[in-house]
Structure formats: C-alpha cells, structure tokens
A = this chain, B = another copy of it.
C-alpha cells in the first residue's frame, strides 16, 4: 500500500512515529488556543524531551504548520471523496454541504488553519492545490448532476472561458461551474462568519441560514 520505500527500516518507522506524535500534540495545542499560540518548545516538553530535539523532525515551525495545513486539507478532501463514492459519483449537493459543515464545526481551529487568515510565512505547496482540485472534482460531479438549464448570465459566460480550475471536467456546462462556485463561496461565507462568532448575540440560528443557503442554490 505504501507508494515509496517498501523496505522500512526500524529507524524510519520510529522517525515517522515521532513526527506523528508531534503533530498530534500540535493539534491538541491548536484546539486549545489556535495556531498562532503553537509552541515547539511546549510540545517537546510535553513529550518529555528538550526543546531543540524537535528540529530533527521538523526544519522549523513553519514546516510543522505547513504539514498540519496539508493534513487538514487532506481530511476534508477524504470526507468529500467518501461521500462521492458512497453516492456512486453523483452525491447530492445537500450531502456535500452537510459534510463541509460537519468538518468545519468538528474543529473550528482546523477550519481557520485552512480557510482563515493566511499565516505570514506560509505559502501553499503544490500539494494543497492538488488537494483542492480533488475537492472541486467531487463538487463538480454533484453540480453537473444538479445544474439547472443554462441561464447564460454574464458570469456564466465568463466562466465558460475561465475553467482552468475545473480541469478534470471539460464537459461540465457553465451553469454547473457557476453552481459549484456559488456553493463554495456561500457556504464558506456562513461558516466563516459563524465560526468567527459574528452571529453570536444576533439571536439567529446559523444552521438554519446554512440550510436556507443550500436550499437556495438549486432553486
């Protein structure tokens, strides 16, 4: 199953194990106080070893965070793909919406790590753009199934000529592309406002707004 290095030396095993434990502690710390408060030193102490030891496993703080971001992306993509597979490649938009919301609420700090304020020293490796493409692919499958008839609005014409992001779906109609973008931006709109607390004290139920936005997508 492993793509590379079938012959795993015990050392590489151990090394991978430690890296995994570091990331685990990192997630715990992030869940507590957010990514900006992540401290390599604290993680090391928590693991019973002394500060600089971690630099054998991660070149620096940014590399650890980059790894965490990639894993977070991966977990969302996996959840999307699972829904797609379960629906034989034609998932309902509402199902994807539910997965997205669950994923976001499950760990808001993880959501912010991916979709919140960009961290200063970080630049997305090609990795993550590839993962985004996986997510978009599942979403586009759902959208081509659910797309309404062509309405040929100005924006859809624009999309017909700018579909690099829909690489694997050369035959998806512009209305499907538009639907996918609407899905993505509207739902992230609700989620980011909700998770940042901008609805608290307003009295309304964000889940209902979310549901209403999902509803309004196809109608």
Spell out A's residues near B (CB within 8 Å): 33-37, 112, 115-120, 124, 129, 132, 153-155, 158-159, 162-165, 178, 181-182, 184-190, 192-193, 196-198, 201-205, 208-209, 211-213, 215-216
Q: Check B115 against A162 for contact (C-beta < 8 Å).
A: no
Contact A159 B33 (CB under 8 A): no
Q: What is the minimal beta-carbon distance from A108 to any residue of chain B, in angstroms?
A: 9
Decide if A209 touches B189 in the complex (CB within 8 Å). Answer: no
CA distance A209 to B106 in the complex (A): 29
Inside 8 A of A185's CB, which chain B residues have their CB?
Answer: 186, 189-190, 193, 209, 213
Alpha-carbon gap, A2 to B44, bound state (A): 53
Copies in the complex: 2
Contacting pair A129 B201 (CB below 8 A): yes
Q: Are B203 and A162 in contact (CB under 8 A)?
A: yes
Q: Are A181 and B204 in contact (CB under 8 A)?
A: yes
* A-B CB proximity, top 6 nearest: A189-B189, A164-B203, A165-B202, A116-B117, A155-B212, A185-B189
Contacts of A155 in B (CB 8 A): 208-209, 211-212, 215
Write out the residue numbers on chain B whose beta carbons fall within 8 Å of the beta carbon of A132. Answer: 198
A115 touches B196 (CB 8 A): yes
User: Do the beta carbons of B212 and A153 come within 8 Å of each other?
Assistant: yes
> Is B188 touching A193 in the complex (CB atoms < 8 A)?
yes
Residues of B close to A33: CB separation below 8 A: 120
Q: What are some 30 contacts across the A-B interface (CB < 8 A)?
A: A35-B117, A36-B119, A36-B120, A37-B120, A112-B116, A112-B117, A118-B196, A118-B197, A129-B201, A154-B211, A155-B211, A158-B204, A158-B208, A162-B204, A162-B205, A163-B203, A164-B201, A165-B202, A178-B212, A181-B204, A181-B209, A182-B213, A184-B189, A185-B186, A185-B189, A185-B190, A185-B193, A185-B213, A186-B213, A188-B193
Residues of B within 8 A of A36 (CB): 36, 119-120
